[in-house]
Chain A
Amino acid sequence: MNALRMKDRPWMLGTIIAGGVGLGFAASQHDFVTMFVLGPRRLELLYYLAASCGIVLGALAILWDDLLGTREFLAQRPVTSDAMARSPLQACVVVLLSWMVIVPIFAWCMTAFWSGMYDLSYGAGFPEILATMMVAWPACAIGCVAAAMPAPWWLRLLLASTLTLSTALLISGVAATDGVSSHLGFAFACIAVAAVLFAIAGFFNKQRQDPDRPWPVPTRIVGGVVLVLAFGHSLTALGREALSNAVNTAQWEYPQIVRLDDKVGLAVRTKNWRNWVECDADHAVIGEPRPRADFVEIDYRAQRMRDVLEAEEPRFRDHFRDRVSLANRSDLYMHQDGRVWVRDRRRHQLHVTGVGPQHEKLPKGMELGYVDDVGKDPNQRSVIAEGADSGRLLRFDETAGHFVDLTLPDGDRFESVGYVREREAKPNVGEVSPLAFLFVHDDSISFIRGKNDSYAMKDGELVAFEPPVREKATVATSVRGEVIGKDPLSFVVEVPAHDGLASFRHEFQPRTATERFYAGLGMTFSVIRPPLTQASCSLLCDDETAPGVFVDRLIAGGKRVWLLLLGFAVAGVGAWGIQRRLLRIGASDHARRFWVVASALVGPIAVLLAVLVETPRRHARPNVVPAPAPRIVSVSECEEVVA
């Protein structure tokens, strides 16, 4: 309703201008070429600022009348509650749309101004800016939901926090399945989440709940479900992180399989990590500590629980490096599609370059980098373009101004660029004392690793290069242990016979007090997880490498049924306890049914929510004693009317 928009104009105008300028500056964090010629990989500052601005916008829109003290003045209008509830949400949409127009234009103008380049044909960064800013939509909806929820302020803040974490995990999971987000996928995920949350905010905004009364049935259904989902998802994710840490720490405490002298056995690090000490099959320490260098670790890949709290800003391109500096105060830029430009920093000019004099595009998948020249001039280095998949290596000829093929000697095939510390490559720098490395020049130098040999650049030519000892040692201990079993706590490792040593087999499980402590901690976190997700994980989750929030690898695939049953028992006790409490405080049948079911399905998280939400019924005092009739009464002048 336009009439209601009149009172919202000041904050709408303020947020359009302040948000547009602030986000515009955030979108100008790179130079013009990176932003609009190549297109940025990710816009971290813009992402977080847009999310923050979105939350503030949503909260401001809903709380504007509370801030001004005009809530009741507004509520006295003869306007339907639907129109009243919709009005701030529509205003938010207007502001968000304005940002989507202002910010890209502002960023283009700002970067063009600072870079001194005004070429309208470049606009590669617009999709990234627009897609990144889409996060403001769900964030704004979160602000609206949290501000409109008829609940105490602290519960609203908690809801905003949990919804933020929950939606970030959800959007990140949907949009970035392989680490790189698609623009449309990310935008669609944001819009879908925002639409659901705006609908909930609209519902909440219609409820002007009396704080001294419990939620009516519709509010409890919507509000309760929102709370249970938001808290359930985010606390389950946090609990899953704690569970992972505990299980991985227990595994970290297990001894390492090592080769010592002429046998394979178990050893653990001493507290100062400098020495190792042998241990027996029960993980008990035997023997004296010995220097770490005496042991050769035998690697094995036990199942570990992955982190799940990895919601971060979207990455739209998987460039490793799209800009390198040349010696003559110029920069070389490469687009993901293989186009390359040279930019003179003094003249702000952009020239197209490429492979050979024809300036052809670089093959797809190539990355720009450097190879250090270990010749006479220690500061010299060559700009290269490397393609590990294609095995092709190009070097940028600064004199000719284009790339030329760099062929490895003896028909060797390029594999990767390696790095080694300068002091390792040049033993004459010297190892003085344990603290000396702090004072020794510790730059690394890069070299080219071919299939057969390694090469360093020396005075512009490739010469064979002997990798340092550390590189060789990695190859020497390449015997790996085979892990049998997918459980992260109990598994068997078999090391095959090699180099004249007998095969080795050990069954890992918590044996020492420390290992048992961490394993027990992990199981405790497992028990308090939502029984619903635990049951589905136990029955359906066969792929134990899945990193999902809902995967608990202690019980996945039907393992440790007793742990699952214990979780059900804990949830059952919680449901019974909450039923008793709600009866005691005089809650309605609906409230009791809702929270008992929620506690049985979601476990202790729902029990905690029920305690927070369903407060004692002060309104329901049974002994309402009416006050005595007034002492002085005149006859009523109201007439009786027959209905």
Chain B
Amino acid sequence: MSSAVVTFDGVHRWFGKSHVLRGLSFEVAPGQVYALLGRNGAGKTTALRILLGFLAPLAGSAHVLGRDCTDLLPEQRGRIGYVGEEHRLYPTMTVQQAVNFEAATRSTFRKDFALEAAKRCGLRSGQRVPFLSRGQRAQLSLILAVASGPDLLICDDPALGLDVVMRREFLDVMIDLLADTGCTVLFSSHFLSDVERVADRVGILHEGALLVDARLDDLKQRVRKCIWVPNGDAKPPVGDNVLRVGARRQGFDLTLLDATEAMFADLAKSGELSPPEAPSLEDLFLDITGPEQPGMLREPIEQFLSKTGGA
């Protein structure tokens, strides 16, 4: 048995004929901030909904706080905070009423903390929810989710639809509220710069399967990007270390994993090699999920190279 707060173990899920999750497996350790990344339709929201018990996996299992997600008890739900994609709150309520509702339904909810936090965010208690801006609603959702002191906070793309300033503000509030709480966070996002600011570990989901499940600092150490212009008819490298070979007008963009010094020496010998550097998360994400890429699951790199003629 693992100490993980969240465990996905070979979870499959279909919607009709669409295979949305294809054997998803990963774990989130206590106190970790885990970012689940992926393009639209990659299966992020489905994974989080399965975790919250709103959907059942059709194969495999998912556990949260040590309990099967299909059978969550009020006890576990009380320890989970949830911020949904669209920050759904009761449109018939005011900010004060929304806080009161949370306080009435969650025994651990800290009403004073929530009202104080709302005040700091510029939310007036008499403001009605439908008249809040998208950003204000996101902030209120986050405050409500955090004020009960959850052991696990699940956020489904919480910054979606916010402008740059609001997004930054939202993140600041999130960091501020969660500071030193030891709360485990699992969130999905499209904004990779935000992820780089807060996440300890990232999972990149593509077409229902996890391509990356790694610590952020680990990624920065192990992945290298360089430009290689071969001499004569030298072929680009192939193998497990090569994540991507992208054709340029002259030469190739290479994204390499755990590349050794010997490998760089070989490349330098057979062509001109730019200094290897750690790619940004956004670059890495594009390299492995971009539409024009061979894909790490769909097509072996050899096949891709044979199609493009090697260069």
Contacts and interface: CB of A to CB of B under 8 A. Distances in A.
Contacts of B212: 630-633
A213 B58 contact: yes
Given A6-B97, A68-B90, A638 B209 contact: no
Contacts of B53: 75
A619 B257 contact: no
Given A630-B211, A630-B212, A641 B23 contact: no
B32 A637 contact: yes
Contacts of B296: 631
Interface string B163-204: 000000000000000000000000000000000000001010
A632 B214 contact: yes
Given A3-B101, A632-B223, A641 B243 contact: no
A485 B215 CA distance: 90
If over half of A's interface residues share one DSSP class (helix, strand or loop), that class is named, otherwise mixed; here it is loop
B148 to A, nearest CB: 9
Contact of A638 (B27, B74, B75): B27
B306 interface: no
A633 B222 CA distance: 10
A57 B105 CA distance: 24
A630 B210 contact: yes
A639 interface: yes
Interface in B97-113: 97, 100-101, 104-107
B52 interface: yes
Given A212-B15, A618-B14, A634-B215, A80 B105 contact: no
Contacts of A2: 104
Contacts of A618: 14, 16-17
A626 B23 contact: yes
Contact of A637 (B23, B29, B104, B219): B29
Contact of B104 (A6, A72, A632): A6
Contacts of B27: 636, 638
A499 interface: no
A628 B209 contact: yes
Nearest to A633: B213
Contacts, number: 147
Contacts of A213: 56, 58
Nearest to B49: A72
A210 interface: yes
A4 interface: yes
Interface string A270-306: 0000000000000000000000000000000000000
Contacts of B59: 619, 624
A643 B22 contact: no
Nearest to A640: B2
A234 to B, nearest CB: 31
B92 interface: yes
Given A72-B88, A638-B29, A627 B213 contact: no
Interface string A602-642: 00000000000000001101001111101111101111111
B75 A633 contact: no
B257 A638 contact: no
Contacts of A18: none
A79 interface: yes
If over half of B's interface residues share one DSSP class (helix, strand or loop), that class is named, otherwise mixed; here it is mixed
Interface residues of B, number: 67
Interface stretch (B77-85, B116-124, B227-235, B268-276): B77-85
Nearest to A7: B90
A378 interface: no
A434 interface: no
Contact of B23 (A6, A72, A627): A627
A212 to B, nearest CB: 6
B1 A641 contact: yes
Nearest to B14: A618
B303 interface: no
Contacts of A639: 2-3
B310 interface: no
A381 to B, nearest CB: 61
A74 to B, nearest CB: 9
B223 A6 contact: no
A636 B2 CA distance: 10
B58 A619 contact: yes
B104 A3 contact: yes
Contacts of A631: 211-212, 240, 243, 257, 288, 296
Given A68-B90, A212-B15, A641-B3, A77 B218 contact: no
Contacts of B75: 78
A213 B58 CA distance: 8
Contacts of A77: 74, 77, 105-106
A73 B105 contact: no
Contacts of B214: 630, 632-634
Given A626-B22, A638-B27, A69 B86 contact: yes
Contacts of B52: 72, 75-76
B119 to A, nearest CB: 22
Contacts of A72: 49, 52, 54, 82, 84, 88
29 contacts: A2-B104, A3-B105, A6-B104, A7-B90, A70-B88, A72-B82, A75-B53, A76-B77, A76-B80, A78-B77, A78-B106, A79-B77, A213-B58, A618-B16, A618-B17, A624-B59, A625-B23, A627-B24, A627-B208, A627-B297, A631-B212, A632-B219, A632-B257, A634-B201, A636-B29, A637-B215, A638-B29, A640-B1, A640-B3
For the complex of A and B, list the 5 residue pairs with the smallest distance between their C-beta atoms, beginning with the closest.
A78-B78, A3-B104, A627-B209, A626-B23, A634-B214
Interface of A: 2-4, 6-7, 9-10, 68-70, 72-73, 75-80, 208, 210, 212-213, 618-619, 621, 624-628, 630-634, 636-643
Given A76-B52, A212-B16, A627-B297, 16 more contacts: A2-B104, A68-B90, A70-B90, A72-B88, A73-B90, A75-B53, A77-B106, A210-B56, A212-B14, A212-B58, A618-B16, A627-B22, A627-B210, A631-B211, A637-B29, A641-B2
